[in-house]
Amino acid sequence: MKIGTNPAAAGAPDRRPTKAAMSRRTLVRSIGAVGALAALAGCTTSDEDPGRSVKDHTVPGNGGHDNTHGNGQHDETHDGSGQWNGSDQGDPNGDINTLTSKAPLPARFRAPLPIPEQLKPVRRTADTDYYEIVQSAATAEIIPGLRTEIMGYNGTFPGPTITQDPGRRVVVTHRNDLPVPTVVHLHGGTTAYDSDGYPTDFLLPAETYGTFPAMPAMPGMPAMSDPDALVSRLRRDYTYPPQPRAATLWYHDHRMDFTGASVYRGLAGFHIAHDAQEQALPLPKGSRDVPLMIADRAFAADGSFLYPALDATMRTTPGVDKPYANGVMGDVILVNGAPWPVMKVDAARYRFRILNASNARTYQLALDGSSEGFTQIGTDHGLLAAPLRQDTLVIAAAERYDVIIDFGRHKVGDEITLVNRLGSGSTAAVMRFVVARATKDTSSVPATLSGTTAITPSGSMTQRIMKFHRGGQGEWLINDQAFDPSVSLADVPAGSTELWTVVSDFHHPFHIHNATVQVVSRDGRAPGPYDHGWKDTVFVNKGEKVQLAIRFSTHKGRYVFHCHNLEHEDMGMMATFRIT
């Protein structure tokens, strides 16, 4: 097997904006108090293992890195704890405050890694699989001995995994038993506009007043309403056509102004799309194909989620307390809903589908206790053309990596720790693997993974500039415009390819719906080491200009693009575009 490597490139200066911000606006919802506690559905877990516990109740700081998503040369110095010791220039977490848990933090590497339940269809036809999900409140024991109230798909965090087989359509009926409206977005999906999860297309709970949101004027934006919103009450069918490529997608709440709070409380799950080409490859399968949802959270003394919302009921006033307007980070690292878990593994190759489901935190993942590193085989929108060796993975909010970790060269009893070099204290470790069994491994990683090709930019392509920046009153804007459903910043022909240049004054994960993206350049230079393949979320460094080739789907209608720092998104950094 031939695996490519990544060259280093030149650095970039540090440009840090002044901290500021507040709630973007007061949103009139007038929602009745309705909801029910649901029983927490069980997750299957990996085999239990006591692991080697390391007590660490340190309040985290933030390590730094030097533009590792772009062309930044960085010093990969690394101590035994997994803490990043390089320069703090360009640190994507450096301007974001971390919430400190009031609950006592558990010892690390004690909890077995949960594996989200795989949802079974309630009905199948010749070409369609039908699923049902209830969005409900529930309680979960995340911190040992304490109960945490969550908002969950089928009452679980993460929600159940939906699998989409080659050539098959998926219809998911969602029932909203929560006391607030919700919106379901299939992140990375190729989807018709009415099932994409436009942020005002509410699924209302049973007892509500009104049918669509109306918003008064606030600093930086006018009063508005959205009469074009497609609003449902209690139940809604979301229809997903066969996906064009095998990919690790995920579904999450996308309600206007409250996405940060709802995802933080648990409304997120995996959606795995397959195709025939991927299924024919000799990659690890079954129990050795493992989804990993990484998310940071903080906990109050009673075990509840600690989130600095201006309105904890999520009914009227959006936004967060001023110190957290740059984003919300927590001091507890969860993987599949468990704090710093441990997973027993065979001495064999494993495929891990890694998702950063954090609101704002960026990670630099590395393996302590192994010289093998990661073999990257895919990214947001599916397999790479060929496998790529990565010593570290810088993963911003909403990005995904598809990687192989080969435990076959380790002996039984070896411990390999997944660490975060952009963390310190309690955020420096993510989870641990313990090699528990010798076994025969018939999997392999072929030299050719897919037939994907790079887009060649041409002068005939429409070019646009999208400026992501903070406004004069602390709001987050795109091209001087806070989100307004009635304003389209781009009308694009169905199936077309355009060149967009995203300009940023802060660290912003750029995400676009119903399109696939290739990175063309960063500040006029080559793409960075983590830019390979087809993506839907691209990390843009502070002060950087990133040129993107964006191929739009043939589904027509209105969609959005936005920053996937969820607090930025909630406070205006989102815009409509239309596929015509």
Where exactly are the structural domains of the chain? 113-279, 463-579
pLDDT digits 0-9 by tens, 215-250: 444 444 455 578 899 999 999 999 999 999 999 999
pLDDT-based confidence at residue 475 (cuts at 50, 70, 90): confident
The angle at the Cα of 304, spanning 301 to 307, to the nearest 5 degrees, equals 100
CATH topology identical between 113-279 and 463-579: yes
Strands 497-504 and 545-552: antiparallel
Name the residue among 353, 356, 334, 348 with its Cα closest to residue 289: 353
Q: How much is the pLDDT for 536?
A: 99
Question: What is the pLDDT of the chain when averaged over all its residues?
Answer: 86
Q: Residue 312: exposed, middle, or buried by beta-carbon count in 10 A (0-12, 13-18, 19+)?
A: exposed
Q: Residue 238: exposed, middle, or buried by beta-carbon count in 10 A (0-12, 13-18, 19+)?
A: buried
Residue 512 is inside which H or E element, if any? strand 508-512
Q: Is 533 within 8 Å of 452 (Cβ atoms)?
A: yes
Name the residue among 245, 193, 259 with its Cα closest to residue 516: 245
Name the DSSP class of 260.
H
| Residue 287 backbone phi and psi in degrees, to 5 | -70, -10
Q: Is 74 within 8 Å of 89 (Cβ atoms)?
A: no
Tokens of 261: 């709070």
Sign for the CA dihedral angle at 518, 481, 232, 309 comes to: positive
What average pLDDT score do residues 194-204 get?
96
pLDDT-based confidence at residue 73 (cuts at 50, 70, 90): very low
Q: Is 551 within 8 Å of 455 (Cβ atoms)?
A: yes
Q: How much is the pLDDT for 126?
A: 98
Q: Is 117 within 8 Å of 41 (Cβ atoms)?
A: yes
What average pLDDT score do residues 80-84 get?
34
Tokens of 48: 């239990």
For residues 470 and 22, give the distance between their C-alpha atoms in angstroms, rounded to a whole number.
12
Preceding peptide of 158 cis, ω within 30°: yes
| 3-class secondary-structure state, position 9 | coil
Rg (CA), the chain: 22
pTM for the full predicted model: 0.86
Name the residue among 305, 214, 322 with its Cα closest to residue 267: 305
Pick the CATH number of 113-279 from 2.60.40.10, 3.30.750.24, 2.60.40.420, 2.40.50.100: 2.60.40.420
The domain at 463-579 falls in which architecture?
Answer: Sandwich (2.60)
